[in-house]
Structure 1
Amino acid sequence: MVDTRLTGRTFLAAATLAGAALVPAMANAEPAAEQAGSTLHLTVSGQNRDELPRNVVLSCHPAGGTHPNAGSACQTLEAVNGDLNQLTAGQAICNLNYQPVTYSARGTWQGRPVTFEKTYSNQCVADASTGKVFAF
């Protein structure tokens, strides 16, 4: 009986020490794929109160989510390392009508937080400036 209790206690102590040794190792481990992923919640909203905002989820690495042009949008973002503020105006001939539209993004790019919001003078200017990222 004494042998059984001693063996059980020895096993319990060994298991506790092994678990305690793993805690620092796990704390320094690489983040899981979800933590280091690239997922953005994108919104397009106009100034017209009757118009509802449009929303999609864009996932990259691999490309997916509810975004209809996920592959192209991810390529555009990869070119600027996920920094939407670095997107530059492409070539487009846009009219001068003032119909403001706001593009916003919230989420992560390769584990880094992303927050973006910018109001453009109209949809054409906005699309020319952001490529396929907000093309939904």
Structure 2
Amino acid sequence: MVDTRLTGRIFLAAATLAGTALAPALANAEPAAEANWSTLNLTISTENRDEAPRTAVLSCHPVGGTHPHAAAACQTLNAVSGDLTQLTQAQTTCNFIHKPVTYTARGSWQGRPVVFEETYSNQCIAEATTGKVFAF
């Protein structure tokens, strides 16, 4: 009976040591995988209260979500390292009609938090600036 108790304690100690040794390795492995993950919740809203905001989820690294042009949107964001404030207006002709539209993005880009909100004077200028990112 003494051998059984001693064997059980030795086994328990060995299992505890093995688990303790693996814990730091596992803890370090998971954040590295999540660091490349990028998911943004995108919203387009207007001042018109009768018009419901449009939303989409954009995932990059890997590409996916509910965004209809996810690959092109991710390519645009990759070019600016996920910093939507770095998107610049493309050469295009837009009218001067003042009909504000607000684009919002919340989520994470390769482990960094993303909080973006910009109101553009109209849809044409918004699309010319953000490309496919808010094309949904």
- TM class by shorter chain equals over 0.9
Q: Which runs of 5+ in 1 are unaligned?
A: none
> Deviation at 1:95?
0.5
Provide the C-alpha distance between the structure 2 equivalents of 1:49 and 1:105, rounded to a whole number of angstroms: 20
Provide the C-alpha distance between the structure 2 equivalents of 1:105 and 1:65, rounded to a whole number of angstroms: 14
Identify, as 1 or 2, the structure richer in helix: 2
Ranges of 4+ aligned residues in structure 1 off by more than 2 Å: 21-30, 32-36
**How many matched pairs?**
136
After superposition, residues 24-103 of structure 1 pair within 5 angstroms as 24-29=24-29, 31=31, 33-34=33-34, 36-103=36-103
2:10 matched to which residue of 1? 10
8 Å contact from structure 2 (residues 37, 62) kept in 1: no
1:70-90 per-residue CA deviation (whole Å, 9 max, x = no partner) reads: 111011000000000000000
8 Å contact from structure 2 (residues 102, 119) kept in 1: yes
Provide the C-alpha distance between the structure 2 equivalents of 1:64 and 1:28, rounded to a whole number of angstroms: 26
8 Å contact from structure 2 (residues 72, 132) kept in 1: yes
> Deviation at 1:92?
1.2
Instruction: Kindly indicate whether residue 126 of structure 2 is the aligned counterpart of residue 120 of structure 1.
Output: no
Q: Which runs of 5+ in 2 are unaligned?
A: none
8 Å contact from structure 2 (residues 36, 61) kept in 1: no
Provide the C-alpha distance between the structure 2 equivalents of 1:25 and 1:34, rounded to a whole number of angstroms: 15
Moved more, 62-71 or 25-34: 25-34
Provide the C-alpha distance between the structure 1 equivalents of 2:3 and 2:56, rounded to a whole number of angstroms: 64
Provide the C-alpha distance between the structure 1 equivalents of 2:27 and 2:69, rounded to a whole number of angstroms: 37
Equivalent pairs: percent with the same residue? 74
The TM-score with structure 1 as length reference comes to 0.94
